[in-house]
Structure 1
Amino acid sequence: MLNKTLVPQSVAREIQGMIQSGQLKAGEKIPSQREFSQKFGISRASLREALLTLETLGLLKTEAGRGTFVAKQASSRSDASAHMAPWRYSDSYSVFDVFQTRILLEGEIARLAAGRLTQLQLDGMEKATRTMEECWANQDLLANVEADLDFHGMIVSACANVMLKALYQTVRDQVTETQRQPIPITDPERMRQSIGEHRSIIAALRANDAARAKLEMENHIRNTARCAGLEP
């Protein structure tokens, strides 16, 4: 039995596979939530979470009164047909607020993590960055974002301030969404830059350069926000 927190991600992976294999075709309406939840043997709440994740990544599109469809892939992620999904936390925080908070919070976390990361953790960050690169090349968008989350999570785990780590966990869902949301409009050049920024962060942390680690992290998050059309 899968851990409940992993069920939506596992199902999202299966549906992504169905799209990539052509079992679900571009423009095709997906089965009803009732049918899909029975197929995967999960609750509708878990299914909805999986579908929301895929919609944020630009693989699905919901049309009011019509249902949810497999998105027609843009010929280029920077062309007019590429778009971001609606921000799902708008009732509590704007996406601008979340990016601005990430800059403040993750920049300081990176500063305090400098000198505390083990060789194993630093190597793990390198591996996560390579995985991001490989999964982007294969258009495994779920795994690309998962590797991105792992990268940032390893830095948080080494932060010296327990309260900052706890604060990060309280906004983890919103942070995760900002890492998924720009994906549909991220072109290959921006992904190359993002991966390069990850490597610059790792270099600063390997050198135990706290000030540089903070600066590199803030720069990385600002550039991600710019990709989403924001200037925090």
Structure 2
Amino acid sequence: MTNNKVYLEIVKQLREMISADNLQSGDKIPSERELSERLNVGRSSVREALRALELLGLIETRRGEGTFIRDFRGNQLVQLLGTFILQDEKAKLDVIETKNLIEMDFLRLVLNRADENRLFTLKSLVEEDQLNDDQFFYQLIEMADNYLFSRIWLILKDYYNSLNLRIVEYNKNSYIMLIEALIEKDEEKTLAAYRELRNLSILTDKY
């Protein structure tokens, strides 16, 4: 097995171990020696994988204490991308477009999976001005019940927010129209309401 494959396999096993042990942000992970024995790989390979995870901001080493899982919901990687990669205008537009497309796709899932009572509850929260845009769509993506969609959207949302774009004030009625279309289980009206909310009249019907 090549060094690259060894490294990737260790990262994969570390992720599985963290999940299996139910380790949370702030928890300490085993030492290099323990990981080497547990994963049956050399300590130098373990060290390389840990260094990569630390560079990504997923773990941190505290001198004299050990290595700990970081709270990476506000991951420094997002800030890094926002500072360097996403200075490119085309990359910024790609993030915005991809976020919109992901949102439309999980709205299609909500049409088939959402409980009507949850949608009425969401409507009430909107009417009472209890949610911002991110919170509104997070409620919907939970109803879509697709973990991968959820993770992708959360990452894209953080990338999007890191762009420091002009803050858009959305009309409350646009959210209500979207929810009502979802309650009616009308895909065409749902996507039309979404495009109006996001001011995406230029998008074609294929979306």
Q: Name the TM tier (shorter chain).
A: 0.3 to 0.5
Which structure has more relative contact order (CA 8 Å, sep 6+)? It is 1
Larger Rg: 2
